[in-house]
C-alpha cells in the first residue's frame, strides 16, 4: 500500500474537505465502490441513467472534484462515471503500483466491467489522459470517443523536475508560485465554489505526496490502435508536458484527431467543457 498522505491528520483533513465538496455536487449523484485487482475504486455517478456512458479520469494529486465545473454541461447528455484514481487523494484504494501501462489498463478494465458498461467514451486529464490512453490502446473496441486534456505519455515531462518540483520544496511561497505555473496567473472570478475548489487543491498539495515516476511514453505502434475519434486540448505554456511534441505526434499518427492548441494556456485548461461536449456529441 502506498503512503499517499504525509500524516494521518493530513489524510483526515483532505478527505473530510473532499467529502463536503461532493455533498455540494452541482447535479444529483450517487456514490459507488467497485472491487478491482488493485483494491476498491470509488466512482461518482451522475446524469440520466439511459444516456451514453462517459468515464472521467482526473490527473495526479486530484480526485473527482476536478470535474465539478464541467459536469453540469456534460451531465445533460451523458451518464457520467467520475473515477477516483487509485493511489491519489480520493476514496479509492491507496495502491500505487509502478506506472506500467498493462497494470493500469487492467485496473481500468476492472472498473468499467464492474460498472456494467460495454462501450464508453472517455475524458482524461494529465495523468488521467495517460490512463485513458493506456486503456484505449489496449481496448480500442470498447472506446467510442476519446477526449484528452493535456495528456501525459505523448511528450516528455522533464520540465517538471526543473521548474515545479524545486518550488514545492520552498514552503507556502513556493507552493503559490508552483500553482501559478500550473494554473496560470489569471484566475477566473472567485465564486464560492471556486474558492472551495482552490482550498481543496491547496490542502492536497500540503498533505499529499507526488508520484515521482515519469509517465511511460506510448510508442507509435500503440497509438495506431486508436481507431476511434480523438480530441486533444493542449496548452502552449504547459510546464509539465511537452505540448509541441504531443501535438506533432497526434497529428502524424492518428487518422481521426482534432487538436485544440492554445498557445498561451498553462497546464490546467480553462473553458474546456463546451469544446469537449461538442466533440463528444458530434455525429
Give the residues of the chain that fall short of pLDDT 50.
1, 167, 170, 189
pLDDT value for 210: 86
pLDDT value for 174: 54
SS3 label, residue 87:
coil
pLDDT value for 7: 95
Asked if 136 and 146 touch (Cβ cutoff 8 Å), the reply is: yes
pLDDT value for 160: 55
Residue 11 CA, chain-centre distance (Å), reads 20
Task: State residue 282 phi and psi, 5-degree precision.
Answer: -65, 135
- What architecture is domain 8-281? 3-Layer(aba) Sandwich (3.40)
Beta bridge partners of 233: 149, 260
pLDDT value for 89: 97
pLDDT value for 212: 83
pLDDT value for 186: 52
pLDDT value for 194: 83
C-alpha cell at 77: 447528455
pLDDT value for 35: 98
pTM of this structure? 0.91
Amino acid at each position: 500500500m502506498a503512503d499517499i498522505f504525509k500524516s494521518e491528520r493530513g489524510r483526515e483533513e483532505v478527505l473530510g474537505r473532499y467529502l463536503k465538496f461532493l455533498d455540494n455536487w452541482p447535479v444529483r449523484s450517487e456514490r459507488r465502490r467497485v472491487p478491482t485487482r488493485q483494491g476498491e475504486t470509488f466512482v461518482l455517478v451522475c446524469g440520466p441513467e439511459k444516456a451514453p456512458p462517459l468515464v472521467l479520469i482526473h490527473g495526479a494529486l486530484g480526485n473527482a472534484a476536478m470535474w465539478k465545473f464541467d459536469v453540469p454541461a456534460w451531465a445533460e447528455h451523458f451518464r457520467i462515471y467520475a473515477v477516483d484514481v487509485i493511489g491519489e487523494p480520493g476514496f479509492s484504494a491507496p495502491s500505487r503500483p509502478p506506472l506500467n501501462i498493462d497494470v493500469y489498463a487492467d485496473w481500468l478494465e476492472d472498473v468499467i466491467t464492474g460498472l456494467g458498461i460495454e462501450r464508453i467514451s472517455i475524458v482524461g486529464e494529465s495523468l488521467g489522459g495517460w490512463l485513458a490512453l493506456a486503456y484505449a490502446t489496449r481496448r480500442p473496441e470498447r472506446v467510442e470517443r476519446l477526449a484528452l486534456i493535456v495528456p501525459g505519455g505523448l511528450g516528455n515531462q522533464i520540465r517538471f523536475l526543473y521548474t515545479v518540483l524545486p518550488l514545492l520544496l520552498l514552503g507556502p511561497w513556493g507552493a503559490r508560485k508552483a500553482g501559478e505555473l500550473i494554473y496560470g496567473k489569471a484566475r477566473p472570478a472567485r465564486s464560492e465554489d471556486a474558492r472551495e475548489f482552490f482550498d481543496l487543491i491547496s490542502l492536497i498539495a500540503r498533505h499529499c505526496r507526488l508520484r515521482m515516476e515519469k509517465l511511460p511514453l506510448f510508442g507509435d505502434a500503440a497509438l495506431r490502435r486508436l481507431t476511434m475519434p480523438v480530441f486533444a486540448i493542449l496548452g502552449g505554456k504547459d510546464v509539465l508536458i511537452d505540448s509541441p511534441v504531443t501535438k506533432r505526434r497526434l497529428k502524424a499518427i492518428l487518422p481521426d484527431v482534432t487538436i485544440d492548441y492554445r498557445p498561451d494556456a498553462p497546464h490546467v485548461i480553462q473553458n474546456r467543457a463546451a469544446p469537449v461536449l461538442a466533440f463528444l456529441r458530434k455525429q
